[in-house]
Amino acid sequence: MALFSKLKERLLKSSSRLGKEVDAIVEEGASVSGAATLEPPVAGASGGAPEAIVPSAPAVQAEARKPGLLGRLMGRSSDAEPRRVLDDDMLESLEEMLIASDMGVDTALRVTANIAEGRMGRRVSGREIRELLAQEIARVMEPVARPLPLYPSKPQVVLVVGVNGSGKTTTIGKLASQFRAAGKSVVIAAGDTFRAAAVEQLQVWGDRAGVPVLTAPEGSDPASLAFDAMTKAEADGADLLMIDTAGRLQNRSDLMEELAKIVRVIRKKDPDAPHNTLLVLDATTGQNALRQVETFRELANVSGLVMTKLDGTAKGGVLVALADKFGLPIHAIGVGEQLEDLAPFDPEEFAAALTGLGD
C-alpha cells in the first residue's frame, strides 16, 4: 500500500505535465459561460474569452498556463469548469501535445481520433478530456502489462540486454531481490566483463539481495562465465539464473556475436534457454527507445521489456508508442534507484499518472 502510493507520487510528479497541457488547451479556447463571475474581469471579454486572444499553438508556454491555473483554482469550488468546443483546432492541439510527449505520430493520431469520435462540436472540460485520454492510453497499454512469466524449468534463464546505462544491472539487482523475497533461489552471472566496476556493482546488489553473483576477471569471455553460472545454478537447484550483459553498441556485430555466443553456450545445457530475454530501456531517452527495440530485436530474441527511470522523466508517453508499435510485454517499471523501486506495470495507474488524474 505504502509502496503503491509512493510509486504513484513519483509517476505523478514526473509525468502529469500532460494533464496540465490538456487543461491549458481547453482554457485557451474556453467559452466561460457559468464561470464568468469567477474570472477576473477582462476588458472587452465579458462573458467569455474568444479563441483569438490566445493563438492555439503554444500549449506548453507558461503564459498560456497561468490564467488557466488561476481559473482552475477558482473554478474548483463550483462546477463551472472551463469548457471548449471540441473542434479541429482543438484536436490538432491535442495531437501536437501527444506527439511532443513522445507518444509517436501514429499513436497520437489514433488516440485523438478515438477521443473525437461522437464528440465533435460538443463542449468539453479539461477533466473530461483527461479522462478520455487516460481511457485510451490504458486501452493501448492493457495488452502489454504482463508480469515476467515464470516457468517450471530449473533454472529459468533470464538474459538481460540493453544499451549502456539503461539500468540492466540495477534491474537485475531489484528483480533478484524481489524473487528472493518471494521465496525463489536466484543466481546472477555478471556478464558485463568489460568493466571491473560493473562487476563490483553487481556484487553489491547481490549482497543486498542475498543472492550469489558469479564473476569473471575483467575482459574475460562472458559466454564461459554464463556456462559456469548455468552449471552452478543447476547444481544448486536454483529457480532462476539472471545473466547481465554488456551494452556497447559501437560495434553492433560484436555485440550480436557476444549475445549469440552466450545463448549458444547455455543451450548446451538447456535447449530452451534463455527462457526470457529482457530488454531494459531508459524512459528518459524518449523516442530513442523505439530505435533500441528495433536494434535489439535484431540482436537477440527479445521477449519483454523493463522501462527504467520513469521517476525522472516527462517522456512517459514513449511507453504508449512502444506498446502500440511492438506489442512486447512490459514486465516492470523502474521508479528509483533503490531495491524496492521496481514495480509491476499497471496500465490504469500509468494512464492516470500520465494524464494527471487522481491527484
Window 256-285: residues binding ligand GDP (CB under 6 A):
280
* Residue whose entry in the numeric block shows the C-alpha cell 499553438: 57
Which of ligand GDP, Mg ion, none binds 162 (CB below 5-8 Å, type-dependent)?
ligand GDP
Q: Select 176 or 198, whichever has its Cβ closest to Mg ion.
A: 198
Q: Tell me, residue by residue from 340 to 359, as one string, x for binding to ligand GDP by CB under 6 A and - for no binding.
A: -x------------------
Spatial distance between the Cα atoms of 305 and 315, rounded to a whole number of angstroms: 17
- Number of residues binding to ligand GDP, judged by CB under 6 A: 19
Residue 256 beta carbon to ligand GDP: minimum distance, rounded to whole angstroms? 17
Which of Mg ion, ligand GDP, none binds 312 (CB below 5-8 Å, type-dependent)?
ligand GDP
Residue 338 beta carbon to Mg ion: minimum distance, rounded to whole angstroms? 17
Nearest by Cα to 49 from 62, 64, 36:
36
Window 288-317: residues binding ligand GDP (CB under 6 A):
308-309, 311-312
Please report whether residue 164 would count as binding ligand GDP according to CB under 6 A: yes
Spatial distance between the Cα atoms of 127 and 76, rounded to a whole number of angstroms: 11
Query: Which residues form the interface with Mg ion (CB under 5 A)?
Result: 168-169, 192, 198
Q: Select 198 or 240, whichever has its Cβ closest to Mg ion.
A: 198
Nearest by Cα to 227 from 275, 157, 290:
157
235 contact partners, CB below 8 Å, separation of at least 6: none
Cis peptide before 155 (omega within 30 of 0): yes
Q: Select 97 or 300, whichever has its Cβ closest to ligand GDP.
A: 300
Give SS3 for 74.
helix
Q: Select 248 or 325, whichever has its Cβ closest to ligand GDP.
A: 248
Q: Which helix (H) or strand (E) holds 30?
A: none
DSSP state of 150: -
> Of all residues in this chain, which one has the CB nearest to ligand GDP in the complex?
334
Cis peptide before 274 (omega within 30 of 0): yes
CB atoms within 10 A of CB 152: 6
| Per-residue burial over 61-91, b = 16 or more CB atoms within 10 Å of its CB, e = otherwise | eeebbebbeebbeebeeeebbbbbebeebbb
Please report whether residue 165 would count as binding ligand GDP according to CB under 6 A: yes
Which of Mg ion, ligand GDP, none binds 130 (CB below 5-8 Å, type-dependent)?
none
Residue 293 beta carbon to ligand GDP: minimum distance, rounded to whole angstroms? 15
Q: Select 90 or 176, whichever has its Cβ closest to Mg ion.
A: 176
Q: By the criterion CB under 6 A, which residues form the site for ligand GDP?
A: 162, 164-170, 247, 280, 308-309, 311-312, 334-337, 341
